[in-house]
Amino acid sequence: MKKVELNLLDNAVDSLNEALSKYQQGNDGDLKAFKFSVLHFSHFFELILKYYVSLSHELLIYKNPFSKKISKENTIGIWDAVQFLKNEGHEFDREFMDDLKWFKELRNNIEHHEFSLDVDLAKKVLGRLMQTFNEFDSILGEVDLKSKVTSELMEQFDILADEYKANVRRAVEQAKEAGGLEEDYYCSGCDQAGTLSLKNGMYICHFCGEESVEVDCCVCGVSFPKDELMVWNDDSEQYVDYICQGCESRIQNM
């Protein structure tokens, strides 16, 4: 049965490479290629999710692992796979789920209706897919998919990653306009730096929308988003003290 795992991963990587190759063609002016890029990406997500389920047990990719004729059993779908991974204790944030739903819908539209997208929208679409993939890659961890991308397609991979970076840059600009903070403030929701702005004692991330209240470090007095601080002293419930990471590590090293 080990063969199943191998096929799933190989097929997932093939789909990823196909998706990137079609993306390249789309960028070179063949707009129809974007459509196939989306379809291949969709395939890739489905296969890689199943692959991840199969790491727990190969038979779990079947709807009925107890079947007497296992080779004739249907395999699980994308939402079964997601639910299984959730039940296993993996966390999927709302954005990931939204992205996944969104592109499944797009894929269905492509398959069942006439497909028309302008270039900018198509690029945005694929940028979002990449965003989803980045999220995904960080969840998988042990599967280093980036290293499996064909070397000629690495550039396309980076273009899409740039699309992701471009979204981050946009969020940083928005944060600056709204009274942004120094670049070394990280959002606890998405781990991006410089995407937070402060208004009326609330930090808001312009990338993921995470909100966090402002709290002062009890040592240096600098204010931070609460999620970034550690509780320093909570002997008395009314007076919880928080400490920033800088002060904490300085004290630990004294």
Selected from 44, 210, 215, 223, the binder of Zn ion by CB under 5 A is 210
Which of 104, 130, 26, 12 is CA-nearest to residue 61?
12
Give least dist CB 205 to Zn ion, A.
Answer: 3
Binding letters toward Zn ion, positions 39-78, x by CB under 5 A: ----------------------------------------
Q: Does 242 bind Zn ion (CB under 5 A)?
A: no
Find, among 96, 126, 98, the residue nearest to 35 by Cα.
126
Q: Which two structure tokens, joined as six digits, stand for 120?
A: 């900018």
Residue 196 CA, chain-centre distance (Å), reads 19
Tokens at residue 103, please? Answer: 């592109």
Q: How far is the CB of 98 from Zn ion (least distance, A)?
A: 15
Please say whether the beta carbons of 51 and 19 come within 8 A. Answer: no
228 belongs to the binding site for Zn ion (CB under 5 A): no
Question: Residue 207 interacts with Zn ion (CB under 5 A)?
Answer: yes
Instruction: Give the number of residues in contact with Zn ion, rule: CB under 5 A.
Output: 12
Contact indicator for 96, 135 with CB cutoff of 8 Å:
yes
Do 78 and 127 touch, CB atoms closer than 8 A? no
16 in contact with Zn ion (CB under 5 A): no
Nearest to 135 by CA among 189, 182, 83, 178: 189
Nearer to Zn ion, 80 or 135 (CB): 135
CB 164 within 8 A of CB 134: yes
Q: Is the dihedral of CA 108, 165, 206, 26 positive or negative?
A: negative
Residues within window 136-165 making contact with Zn ion, judged by CB under 5 A: none
Per rule CB under 5 A, is residue 205 in the interface with Zn ion?
A: yes
CB of 221 to Zn ion, least distance (A): 7
Binding mask 160-199 for Zn ion (x = CB under 5 A): ---------------------------x-xx---------
Stretch that binds Zn ion, among 54-62, 89-97, 123-131, 208-216 (CB under 5 A): 208-216
Does 244 sit near Zn ion (CB under 5 A)? yes
Give the angle 174-172-247 at the CA atoms, nearest 5°: 125
126: tokens are 């694929």
Among positions 220, 230, 240, 251, the unique one binding Zn ion when judged by CB under 5 A? 220
Q: Which of 24, 149, 219, 227 binds Zn ion (CB under 5 A)?
A: 219
> Counting contacts by CB under 5 A, is residue 247 touching Zn ion?
yes
90 Cβ contact list (under 8 Å, min separation 6): 139
Question: Which phi and psi (to 5°) does residue 188 adopt?
Answer: -75, -15
Min dist CB 16 to Zn ion, Å, is 26
Residue ranges that bind Zn ion, judged by CB under 5 A: 187, 189-190, 205, 207-208, 210, 217, 219-220, 244, 247
